[in-house]
Every structure is written in structure tokens, then in C-alpha cells.
């Protein structure tokens, strides 16, 4: 059923793209948060087949990517958080009015495949899981890592967790660090956990502690082909892309 839904979605997306297809194929340079990597890697070949455009994508954690753009990194389309997109608009690095929310994703917990599943269904259960964990890992500069560090502090566990917290500096590698045995539990965006072989997706953070990262796309004033860039954003955020977004742990924005 999933395959049929994806095929139907792809066919529907073709109709969405038609008004935006450029007369000639274009190369679209995309700078994107690693949080949408799993979905974008599935959508990329479909988009390229349907439009003949080519996507060249640079993935990374949002904060370092923003620093690269601030320093002059060239792009056609960027996918970051709304606050970062707004700042880039103020800097003149994104065309006003070109921004569009493409998806959002919540925080989740990763363990190694086959491990007992701790109770994270409530705030109290989540707190006990943290206290009982031998070690945990979260990213250094990703949105999920920043949120997790703040959450641990709000729960009054900062000092208790400090000696058993591993900080992952590789973009999108929190669940991989768990598989590698660097920590017992990892806390990351759900979309960064599901694709990792050997990782067990334990579940989302409890509702009262959950946080969502919203991803927004914007177009550079210097984009080589604005219509092609618009076609890409429309493709990524079209309702027919929903099966792929959901299969990678994401939701419509």
C-alpha cells in the first residue's frame, strides 16, 4: 500500500509541477538542514525525472549552514528554520515573499536495535529514563541538541546528566552514535532516527515535552533560474508528497 501511495503521489506531483517547469533544464543549488535529508533524498530523483532539472544539495546542521551563508556561500534554495530564514531576508540573501514552510518534525528517542524499550510516554517516565540511562547523546549545534540541552536543564537534571552526556559534532549523526556504541540513548529529530540501520526508534518525546522544528525554504535573489527554484519548493511541499514526508517521520508544515 505504501508503494502505491508513493507512486500515486509522484503522479500527482507531476501535475503540480507543470506550471513551474522552465523551458530548459537548470541546476538548482540547495543548502538544507539535515533534518529533511531522508525525505529530500527520496523526492530528489522524482523531481529530476519529471523536470530534467538537477538538484545539487549540501546537507548539514542548521546553525553551521547559516554561518556559511552569512559568510557568502552561494545557493539557489535554502531550507532552514523560520527564524534563520527571516534573518537571511533581512540581510538580502533571500528574496522577500519567496519563503514557504515545507514541513515540520518532532523530537524522538533512539536506542540500539533489540534493546529493551524504556517508558517515555509521560514526562515522569521520560525523566526516569534519563536518570536511569548509562549514557545519552545529542547534537552540539543542531536544533534538536539545543532543545535537548535546555530541556535537561528545565527538568533539573543538568548536573546529574553532565558526566554521562556525549555531544555529537557530526551533522545528523546522533542515532549513528548510538549504533556505534558511544551512548545508550540518543535524542534527535525523528526524521534523523528512522533511516539509520541498527537504530531502534523508541518513540517521540511525551506531548508535554515535545518540540517541533519547522523547516522553511527560501530563494536567493541570485538564483540562476527562479522558476525552477519555485518548482522545486512546490514539489517538496505539495500535498501529494505527504506519503514520503510521513514515512520519514515528518509532517506538513
The answer on 170 and 113 residing in a single domain is yes
Whats the size of the chain, residue-wise? 253
Number of other CB atoms surrounding residue 207 within 10 Å = 10
Inside any domain, residue 252: no
The answer on 99 and 217 residing in a single domain is yes
pLDDT of residue 141: 84
For the record, the C-alpha cell of 34 comes out as: 539535515
Task: Kindly write down the DSSP assignment for every residue of 212-235, as one continuous string.
Answer: EEEEEEEE-TT-S-HHHHHHHHHH
The distance of Cα 94 from the centroid of its chain, to the nearest Å, equals 20
The answer on 138 and 80 residing in a single domain is no
pLDDT of residue 21: 47
The answer on 217 and 98 residing in a single domain is yes
Inside any domain, residue 253: no
pLDDT of residue 9: 44
The answer on 93 and 7 residing in a single domain is yes
Which alpha helices (DSSP H) does 18-98 contain, by range? 37-51, 62-70, 82-90
pLDDT of residue 252: 84
Domain of 159, in residue numbers: 106-204
What's the domain count of the chain?
2
pLDDT of residue 161: 98
The answer on 92 and 16 residing in a single domain is yes
Which stretches in the chain have pLDDT values below 70? Answer: 1-23
pLDDT of residue 238: 80
The answer on 37 and 113 residing in a single domain is no
Contact 85, 100 (CB under 8 A): no
For the record, the C-alpha cell of 230 comes out as: 519555485
The answer on 92 and 126 residing in a single domain is no
CA distance 109 to 155: 17
- pTM assigned to the model: 0.85
Provide the CATH number for the domain around residue 33: 3.40.190.10
pLDDT of residue 113: 94
Amino acid at each position: 500500500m505504501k508503494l502505491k501511495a508513493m507512486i500515486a503521489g509522484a503522479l500527482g506531483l507531476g501535475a503540480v509541477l507543470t506550471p513551474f517547469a522552465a523551458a530548459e533544464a537548470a541546476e538548482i543549488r540547495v543548502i538544507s538542514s539535515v533534518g529533511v535529508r531522508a525525505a529530500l533524498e527520496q523526492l530528489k530523483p522524482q523531481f529530476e525525472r519529471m523536470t530534467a532539472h538537477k538538484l545539487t544539495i549540501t546537507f548539514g546542521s542548521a546553525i553551521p549552514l547559516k554561518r556559511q551563508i552569512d559568510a557568502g556561500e552561494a545557493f539557489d534554495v535554502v531550507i532552514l528554520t523560520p527564524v534563520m530564514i527571516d534573518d537571511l531576508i533581512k540581510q538580502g540573501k533571500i528574496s522577500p515573499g519567496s519563503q514557504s514552510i515545507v514541513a515540520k518534525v518532532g523530537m524522538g528517542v533512539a536506542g540500539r536495535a533489540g534493546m529493551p524499550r524504556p517508558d517515555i510516554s509521560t514526562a515522569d517516565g521520560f525523566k526516569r529514563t534519563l536518570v536511569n540511562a548509562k549514557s545519552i547523546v545529542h547534537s552540539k549545534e543542531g536544533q534538536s541538541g539545543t532543545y535537548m540541552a535546555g530541556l535537561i536543564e528545565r527538568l533539573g537534571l543538568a548536573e546529574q546528566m553532565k558526566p554521562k552526556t556525549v555531544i555529537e559534532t557530526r551533522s545528523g549523526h546522533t542515532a549513528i552514535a548510538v549504533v556505534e556504541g558511544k551512548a545508550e540513548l540518543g535524542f534527535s529529530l525523528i526524521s534523523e532516527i528512522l533511516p539509520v540501520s541498527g537504530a531502534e526508534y523508541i518513540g517521540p518525546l511525551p506531548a508535554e515535552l515535545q518540540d517541533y522544528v519547522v523547516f522553511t525554504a527560501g530563494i536567493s535573489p541570485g538564483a540562476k533560474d527562479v522558476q525552477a527554484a519555485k518548482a522545486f519548493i512546490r514539489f517538496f511541499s505539495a500535498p501529494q508528497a505527504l506519503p514520503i514526508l510521513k514515512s520519514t517521520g515528518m509532517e506538513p508544515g
